[in-house]
Every structure is written in C-alpha cells, then in structure tokens.
Structure 1
Amino acid sequence: MELSEIDLNLLLLFQRLMQERRVASVAEQMNMSQPGVSNALAKLRRRLGDPLFVRAPGGVVPTPYALRLSEPVSQALATLHAALNPMTGFDPLRASRTITIGMTDIGEVVFLPALVERLSREAPGVALNTVRNTRVNLGNEMADGRVDLAIGLLPQLKGGFYQRRLFDQRYVCLYRQGHPLDDAPMTLAGWREAEHLVVVSAGTGHGQVDEWLKRRGVRRRVRLTVPHFMSVGYILQRTDLIATVPERLALQLAPLFSLSMCALPVALPSAPIHLLWHERVQQDEGNRWLRGVVIDLFADTASHVRKSASAKKK
C-alpha cells in the first residue's frame, strides 16, 4: 500500500480511537458527528483490510492488527507534528550543534579568541568550524546550508543575503620595537624607503588596498611577499621590515611579538567588515543567537542590519 492511498485524517482518527476507545469522545474531540466518525472508520477498514475496532461494553476494543499499528502510527504522527511545529526559542546552554563560519586568516586571529571564549561560557555544546572565504564558493555554500555565517569584506554576496556592518577596518604600519623608524613620527619618505613585507591576499579587503596603492602610483620597496598573514608577526619580530596591516590585527600581534604600530603617512580607504547570512537562516533561532553574540562582541554601535539591494528585487 502506498502512503498516497491513506488520508492523514484517518490516521489521526485511528490514534484518537486507540486512546479513547469511545466513538462519541472521538467525535467531540475532532468536531465530527458520530456517524461521521463511523463512516471514516469504515473507509480506513476498507483500506487496511481489517476491522481495527469491534464493539464492546462501554465502547470499542482494538483488534490485534490495530494494536500492532498503534505504536508506529503514533510515532509517525508525533514526528510529523514536531517537524511542523518546531520548538520556539533557543537555549544555548543545552544546544548541541556545529556552526561553520566563512572568514579569512585575519578573521581567525581577530574574531575567534573572543568568540570561542564567549561560547565556552554560554554555549558549551556549540562547536565552531571555519572555512576560507577565498577557497570555496561562499554564496553557494551558504545557500546550501554548509556555511552558516560569513565575516569580512564580501561584495560577491548579494541577492538573498542579509548583512550587518560590524566596523570599518583601518590600516596601520607595523614593525619591531627598536626599529629605526620607531624613534620619530612616520613620514611618507620614511615609509617609502623602508623595506616592506607585503601580503598578497587576492579576493580579500586587504588585496583591494594593495590595488588602490598601485593605481595611485604609491610605490614601496618590497623585500618580501607572502600569501597570508600568519607569518607576519614572526617575520617582523626578527627583521627591519615593516608591514601595512589591518588595525585590529595589529592590536593582536603587537603585544605577542613585541611590535610597534603607528598611523600610516598615506590616507588609505577603510574596508567595511560585515557579518553576512543567507535568507534561509534569517529565522533560525540558533543562527540568530550567534549573530547577536558576534554583533555584541565586535560591532560598532552605529551599524545596522540590511538586506542587499539585489536581494530586495528577488
């Protein structure tokens, strides 16, 4: 027998008869007449080929076949009811799930320590997983549910995404303590003549800053180029190289590697850093809770949530 041959209402009536064992009680609960209950039961008997219930003093009693059906039917209806009526609210202390966030290596340094510390206190059963923004098709991964949130400068995420600006990323100059440039205010000439460590990070906000410098003819003496930020602190600590890095990264690296930081002698555009999520998880309680944690930890108070212009046209 195919499920399409069974009316769900007949299974609900069957469950109620198993519980009440009286046609009159089931008719009242289901807002039906007693003849209506009898007709529905007759239809179910024909479908299943069994009497299901027989008359007895004070009501009806189930047949052996009905007794075998009772538990699986009740479980199936309970599962369907739970799926159609999810529990409201999200209890972080009891939650057990893994949340995947798309971010850069800078993001891992800037965001993860405080975020993991907060989750260990408030949501000990929630585990985090990160993926590189530049190594996956982030839009598809988020639309398909494999990535829950993303943090960064991500102009490619347009239609179907919500975003909340966290802050504007400024850039500073970073170098070792005791560097020759450490004794006087940084000048444009000194910055140009110093030997630079440059991170080539195409597809990120920092990569756009490097392109901005090139377009305006701002030249540097590049001694070393690396593809990521993870080695910057180690290299600057033991050389006279300087690096132009995001301010929040510099604040993390400076005390760990005995580095100094100062304002740049050139006016670089700031990079807006956003928290983004797909519209499919806009109403998800767990996702909403984690978004609130990220905003509480890292957002400037002036920022707000908005949906991309492309998404509004959908």
Structure 2
Amino acid sequence: MKDLNLLYAFEALWRDRSVTVAAERLGLTQAAVSSALKRLRAEYDDPLFTLVGRKMEPTPLASELSPQLLDALAVVRKTREARVKFDPASARRVFTIRTRDIGEVVCLPQVSSALERIAPGIHLRTVFRPIADTLSGMANGQVDLALGFLPSLETGIHRRVLFMQNYVCAMRVGHPLAEGELTQDLFSRSDHLLVEYSGSGHLSLERALIDAGLRQRIKLRIPQYLSAPHFIIDSDLLWSVPAILAERLALHFPLVIKPHPLPLPEFEVALYWHDRYHRDPANKWLRELIADTCASSIGKRSAPALTPPRPPASV
C-alpha cells in the first residue's frame, strides 16, 4: 500500500460502518472517502465493505486484514507522537463514550460545558453497549472511552478511577418509612425497585438483595436509572441507588434518602480505554479533561489515578 491515507480510510470505515460518518470524522468529503474505498478495493481485489441495510459491513477478507492494517496504523501514529500535538481549541471531531444514563447525568453535563469553552469544535456522542461489544468497540476505535462501574472490562484495558461511591435507599416523601431509622428488618419487609444490567458491577447489588431474602420483594425491574423516580414517587417501593445520583435526582423529585441498611461495599466509578489508544494525544486529552472536571464538580475522594492494562487471560 503506497498511500498511508488509505489506512486512515480503512480504519474509519471499519470503525464507523458508514461512508458519511467516516468522512465527517476524518474531515473529508464523502466523495474522497468513496474514492479511497475504491482504491482499497482495487488494492485487495475485494469489495472490503458492502452495504447491508444501512451499514457498510466488512467482508470476510476485511475482517481478516483488519488486525494487521489497524496495528500498522497504530505503529505509524506512534512514530508521529513526538511531533504531533493535539490542539483542542482548533480540533474538529466526535468522541464516543460508552456510558449509562447515570454517567450522562453525573459527569457529562460539566464536561460538555467545558468543551463549549475550550474546544468548541469537539462533540460528544454517548452509546450504551453490552460489555463484549464495548470491548471490541474500544479496540477498533468505535468507542473512545467507557465510563462507569465496569470491573468485567479486562484484556488490554487501562482504567482511571474518578471517585468512589456507595449505595443509599431512596423513597418518596410521605413514605411510611420516611421518618426514623431505616433498619434492615424494615427494609426486608418492604417492596423494592431494582435497576438491573448484568454487564456492570451493579450486579453485586442484586446478589446482596437476594442474599438478604428479598428475591420475592423485588416487585419491579427496569433497565434505566432515570425512569426510576417516576415509579418511586407514586408507590411505596424502595430503591437502592448510588448516592450521587440520588442526590442529583432529589433536586427534581420529592425523594427521601436514607443510609442503606445492608452492608454493601463501596464501588469505583472509572474511565476505561484500550491500550491501543493509551498514548493517543486526543484520547489522553479527553481523559484528563473528564478526570479534572469530575474532581472539581463532584469533590469525592479518588482512588489511585492509573492502573496498567490487565494482561490477556490464559487459555
């Protein structure tokens, strides 16, 4: 391959599965990306990407070539890192962050405000994917960062802990248990709402409730945090929820927040990124911005700032 720009085009198409989106993120016209794809097809005598529904899906040959081509581009980038600096004030690109609605509420509004001031050409996009898709997306560049409580992210992943959290119990104003101490006995005799998702570390909360004999007391299971208050304020359900989210929501909903009566451990809210982008100037800049913004806006005690990637599991 004589033109290294074709590597960038391949990476963008592999990541975005769209000529339009790839062109936008590369800062090129659709015609330029289409021309690059045409040259790639001639180079390998294969369509490489074909339209399936609304997406440009890779052919078997493209999937076979992708590790080598993406690694080659990573090597090229590393040779330029000493000379190329990321300028957020003039940059124009979209960063994709994998997070749940809790991350959007707790962390990203302040980050968005900071971007408006210091990097107006940078935009954020959030996605919510299963853990396996998150890991592959971070490896191929579809996802720049993941944000949340995701201890099951492993191979080749770095993490930076932003702050520690604990669970509290939320209920409506006027709830029969709103006055006085919420004991474990009263808690166990009440009905509960559970926000569930098996791919996150919050699965430990469900196990704790079940271990406390509350399996039949979980009357409502929902997949998203932000709909929970609408059920809580019109019922006698109790909701076990991260403290920082409960505090934010109590500003908008008539909620009473109590210390949790079960001995639940604290958990970490962290940023995660793939080793392939560990030294990428743009990715590093965004990580620092999010960490600094969270530190100033949340004011929670932080755990050690950086941990090395976990090695691949042996097979």
Please indicate, yes or no, whether the TM-score normalized by the shorter chain is above 0.5.
Answer: yes
Q: 1:252 aligns with which of 232, 241, 248?
A: 248
Q: Could you tell me which residue of structure 2 aligns to residue 178 of structure 1?
A: 174
Equivalent in the alignment of 1:63:
none
Name which of structure 1's ranges 130-139 and 172-181 shifts more when overlaid on structure 2.
Answer: 130-139
Q: Is the 8 A contact 2:193 2:219 kept in 1?
A: yes
SS of residue paired to 2:163: strand
Aligned to 2:84, the other structure's residue is in SS state: coil
Paired AA for residue 284 in structure 2:
R
Check the 8 A contact 1:165/1:273 in 2, yes or no.
Answer: yes
Q: Which residue of 2 aligns with 1:306?
A: 307
Q: Which residue of 2 aligns with 1:297?
A: 293
**Which stretch shows the higher mean deviation, 127-136 or 148-157?**
127-136
Match of 2:54 in 1: none
How far is 1:222 from its partner? Answer: 2.5
Q: Report if the CA contact (8 A) 2:157-2:274 is conserved.
A: yes
Change (3 A) 1:220 1:111: farther
Q: CA deviation at 1:85?
A: 4.5
- Segments of 5+ residues of structure 2 without an aligned counterpart are 4-75, 296-300
Partner of 1:146: 142
Return the offset for 1:235. 1.5
Partner in structure 2 of residue 103 of structure 1? 99
Measured in 1, the distance between the counterparts of 2:261 and 2:78 equals 59
Q: 2:233 aligns with which of 227, 237, 256?
A: 237
Q: CA deviation at 1:178?
A: 2.2
Q: Tell me which amino acid in the other structure corresponds to 1:309.
A: R
- Secondary structure (helix, strand or coil) at the match of 2:199 reads coil
Equivalent pair of 1:193/1:220 in contact (CA under 8 Å): no
Q: For residue 273 of structure 2, what is the aligned residue in structure 1?
A: 277
Residue from 187, 192, 196 that aligns with 1:191: 187
AA aligned to 1:307 is P
The residue number in structure 1 matching 2:217 is 221
Checking the alignment, whether the CA contact within 8 Å between 1:100 and 1:131 is kept in structure 2 is yes
Give the Å deviation of 1:153.
2.2
Change (3 A) 1:270 1:119: same
Equivalent pair of 2:97/2:124 in contact (CA under 8 Å): yes
222-231 vs 85-94, which moves further: 85-94
Q: Give how far 1:170 is off.
A: 0.7
Matched letter for residue 307 of structure 2: R
Partner residue of 2:108 out of 76, 87, 112: 112
Q: How many residues align?
A: 236
CA distance in 2, matches of 1:295, 1:3: 40
- Cα shift readout 1:55-98 (whole Å, capped 9, x = no counterpart): xxxxxxxxxxxxxxxxxxxxxxxxxx999646532222211110
1:197-236, CA deviations, whole angstroms, 9 ceiling, x for partnerless residues? Answer: 1222221222221123324545562332222212111111
Question: Which of these two proteins has the greater Rg computed from alpha carbons?
Answer: 1
Quote the Cα distance in structure 2 between the aligned partners of 1:229 and 1:83: 40
C-alpha root-mean-square deviation of aligned residues, in Å? 2.8
TM-score (norm 2): 0.68
User: Which residue identity does 2:90 align to in structure 1?
Assistant: R
Separation in 2 of the partners of 1:82 and 1:191? Answer: 55
Q: What corresponds to 1:156 in structure 2?
A: 152
Aligned in 2, Cα 1:83/1:133: closer, same or farther, shift over 3 Å? closer
Once residues 263 and 82 of structure 1 are traced to their aligned partners in structure 2, the CA distance between those partners, rounded to angstroms, is 49
Q: List gaps (5 residues or longer) in structure 1.
A: 5-80
**In the alignment, what sits opposite 2:128?**
132
TM-aligned CA distance change 1:158 to 1:82, over 3 Å: closer
Question: Do 2:188 and 2:213's aligned partners in 1 also have CA atoms closer than 8 Å?
Answer: no
Identity %: 36
Q: Using the alignment, how far apart are the partners of 2:77 and 2:274 within structure 1?
A: 24
Counterpart residue type for residue 310 of structure 1? P
Contact 1:173 1:244 in 2 (8 A): yes
